[in-house]
């Protein structure tokens, strides 16, 4: 990545894995942070290049919702650079508030689709990817909009370092089955789980968010950690 606009979305085909971009008017503080903080931490090509050149670990969260998990992980891991991607502007506003409140200096924000960013990253540069409680698109006719698809799994494999991980969490049973089937079909990932507790118990470093506690799905949360071969 070498240009300031290298994260501008490119054509990925007809799949749109997210719904609304905005649902309500931004709170005054959030609106202010869009003008003051976001320009300083937006994941432009130049800033991503600098993160890559720093030699620090690089973790990516796709669809960070309100940014609680993203900000808490960044606070717990100050030597890691985080990139968070979220197309929902109200979620971006919430994340900016968490980043401002925490005085965090190791987070970059992309207010948009993560897939063009994945395409523009060099090979084998990410250490971890998080996809937590993504929109399940539960109606069968909408399953094609789910973020977990063979092409996105291939993009994860290209961008991850060997031994890097993807953590996928959901509270929808059908989406859990869908994701597991597609990751197991990939030649690029292992799933090292040995017992039911490996996916039914939140990982030790997991940070519970308000969305997760609402229990809006049809099953208890499931956590899959897939490892890049």
Per-residue pLDDT of the chain (229 residues; tens, 9 = 90+): 533 333 333 343 444 544 445 556 888 999 999 999 999 999 999 999 999 999 999 999 999 999 999 999 999 999 999 999 999 999 999 999 999 999 999 999 999 999 999 999 999 999 999 999 999 988 888 889 999 999 999 999 999 999 999 999 999 999 999 999 999 999 999 999 999 999 999 999 999 988 888 888 999 999 999 999 9
For the chain, domains (ranges, CATH) are: 28-228 (3.40.50.150)
User: Do residues 209 and 142 make contact, with C-beta atoms less than 8 angstroms apart?
Assistant: no
Left if phi > 0, otherwise alpha if psi is -120 to 50, otherwise beta: which for 40? alpha
Q: Distance between CA atoms of 70 and 127, rounded to whole angstroms? A: 15
Q: Which residues are catalytic?
A: 135
Helix ranges restricted to H, the chain: 28-36, 38-41, 45-53, 68-76, 89-102, 115-120, 150-159, 173-185, 197-200, 210-214
pTM over 0.85: yes
| Cα gap 65→69, rounded to integer Å | 9
Q: Pick the closest to residue 118 from 81, 149, 82, 85 (CA basis).
A: 85
């Amino acid at each position: 990545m070498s240009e300031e606009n290298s994260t501008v979305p490119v054509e990925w085909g007809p799949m749109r894995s997210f719904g609304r971009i905005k649902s309500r008017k931004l709170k005054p503080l959030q609106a202010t942070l869009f003008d003051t903080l976001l320009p300083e931490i937006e994941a432009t090509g130049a800033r991503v290049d600098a993160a890559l050149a720093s030699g620090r670990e690089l973790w990516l969260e796709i669809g960070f919702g309100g940014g609680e998990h993203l900000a808490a992980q960044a606070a717990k891991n100050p030597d890691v650079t985080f990139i968070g991607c979220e197309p929902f502007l109200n979620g971006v506003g919430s994340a900016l508030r968490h980043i401002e409140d925490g005085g965090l200096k190791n987070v970059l924000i992309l207010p948009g689709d993560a897939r063009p960013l994945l395409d523009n990253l060099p090979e084998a540069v990410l250490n971890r990817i998080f996809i937590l409680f993504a929109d399940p698109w539960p109606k069968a006719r909408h399953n094609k909009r789910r973020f977990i698809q063979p092409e996105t799994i291939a993009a994860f494999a290209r961008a991850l370092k060997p031994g890097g991980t993807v953590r996928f969490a959901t509270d929808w049973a059908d989406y859990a089955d869908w994701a597991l089937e597609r990751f197991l079909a990939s030649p690029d990932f292992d799933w090292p789980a040995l017992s039911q507790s490996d996916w039914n118990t939140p990982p030790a470093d997991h940070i519970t968010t308000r969305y997760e506690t609402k229990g809006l799905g049809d099953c208890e949360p499931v956590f899959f950690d897939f490892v890049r071969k």
